Amino acid sequence: MEHITLKDAITLYVEDLATRQQKAKKTIKSYRHTLRRFANLMEESNVSLLKDVEETAHAFPYRDEMIDRDFSLNTVKTYVMTLKAFMNYAVGKGWIEQNPFAFVNVTGAGARRQSLWISREQLDKVLYHAHNATLYNIFLIGGDAGLRISETLELKMEDIDFEHNELFVRFGKGQKSRRVPMTDRLHHSLTRYLRSERPKLETDSPYVFVMPNGHQVRSNYVNEYLRSVSEEQLDFAITSHVLRHSFATELHNRGVSITIISRLLGHSSTETTELYLHISMEQNQITISILND
């Protein structure tokens, strides 16, 4: 297996599309754009080698982020199919052993996603074993408030309204702002964090979550430790996006309407919210049993 960089592999694949496969110029341009965009996203996560692209850590989160950004399902499907084709080519060239996008699917509107979600008990276990107070509170915001990781890391001191028990998300996806209520434990935890657990800095930062050196916490740092904790405690890896899914699913399973959940998540459409929900088998059975009365 060669240690080829993702960008070099993309260059060779695009050349193959033009020379051997004789694809139309418009098709080649589309493939190149999609693949380069993916490479840039991977670079942000410190992934430069093709062999380091993983199914759970990168492939499923890539699809989830596209849907999260309110791209149409057809557009997301095109992106995923492009990555599948590229990865199949890479397998054929012997650059990687298996296609990380092989099981990443985009279904029709209203269908359920196949990615993971966790129960409240599993969330509690992850929280208990968080490596430090900063990660604990970031994980907690994902599981108890459903914020995107980018929204969590952009929170400033002024965005935590303890008086009204809300988090203020400024200019989320689509430049939309929203207010999200805090659970009691999130309220108490953030109070304690800001009072005594947040790193002490020589020159303070307006951001809630910072590293000891004063820099903002980065998403790859959060996901690296979340994968580590979840693999150790749950026997499978999750990312911060799974916490957001779990927040939505838990609310839905407790009877909260999709309209309200959609507003809390900052979605422009309830159709997008439906893709987040992982309805439990037990709830399905209870729901269908109504027809037996």
Which of 64-73, 109-118, 211-220: highest mean pLDDT? 211-220
- pLDDT digits 0-9 by tens, 94-136: 999 999 998 888 764 333 344 468 999 999 999 999 999 999 9
CATH (domain of 38): 1.10.150
Residue 179 contacts residue 163 (beta carbons within 8 Å): no
pLDDT band at 147 (very low <50, low <70, confident <90, very high): very high
* Residue 291 forms part of a structural domain: no
Q: Is 173 a catalytic residue?
A: yes
The active-site residue out of 13, 31, 221, 276 is 276
Structure tokens at 83: 């990555």
Residues 157 and 252 in one domain: yes
Q: Is 129 a catalytic residue?
A: no
Query: 120-128 and 240-253 are packed helices; what angle lies between their axes, rounded to 10 degrees?
Result: 140
* Residue 18 forms part of a structural domain: yes
Rounded to an integer, what distance in angstroms lies between the CA atom of residue 7 and that of residue 4?
Answer: 8
> Residue 151: is its pLDDT beyond 80?
yes
Tell me the residue range of the domain where 40 lies. 6-92
pLDDT (mean) for 226-241:
89
Q: Is 244 a catalytic residue?
A: yes
Residues 141 and 77 in one domain: no
Q: Model-level pTM? A: 0.66
The active-site residue out of 63, 84, 227, 241 is 241
Share of the chain above pLDDT 70, in %: 88
Residues 127 and 188 in one domain: yes
List strands edge to edge, sheet with 166-169. 160-161, 166-169, 178-181
CATH (domain of 174): 1.10.443.10
Rounded to an integer, what distance in angstroms lies between the CA atom of residue 150 and that of residue 14?
Answer: 31
Residues 57 and 127 in one domain: no
> Residue 246: is its pLDDT beyond 80?
yes
Residues 6+ apart with CB under 8 A from 287: none
Rounded to an integer, what distance in angstroms lies between the CA atom of residue 169 and that of residue 241?
Answer: 17
> Residue 50: is its pLDDT beyond 60?
yes
Q: Is 276 a catalytic residue?
A: yes
∠ CA 39-9-27, nearest 5°, is 75
* Residue 67 forms part of a structural domain: yes
- pLDDT digits 0-9 by tens, 258-292: 999 999 998 888 877 777 776 554 455 554 455 55
Question: Given the DSSP bridges, would you call strands 166-169 and 160-161 parallel, antiparallel or unpaired?
Answer: antiparallel
* Residue 264 forms part of a structural domain: yes
Residue 281 pLDDT? 46
Residue 62 pLDDT? 85
Residue 273 contacts residue 112 (beta carbons within 8 Å): no
The active-site residue out of 93, 173, 179, 187 is 173
Residues 183 and 229 in one domain: yes
The active-site residue out of 148, 198, 245, 278 is 148
- The total number of structural domains in the chain stands at 2
Residues 40 and 184 in one domain: no
Residues 128 and 263 in one domain: yes
Q: How many CB atoms lie within 10 A of CB 237?
A: 19
Question: Is the pLDDT higher at 159 or at 253?
Answer: 159
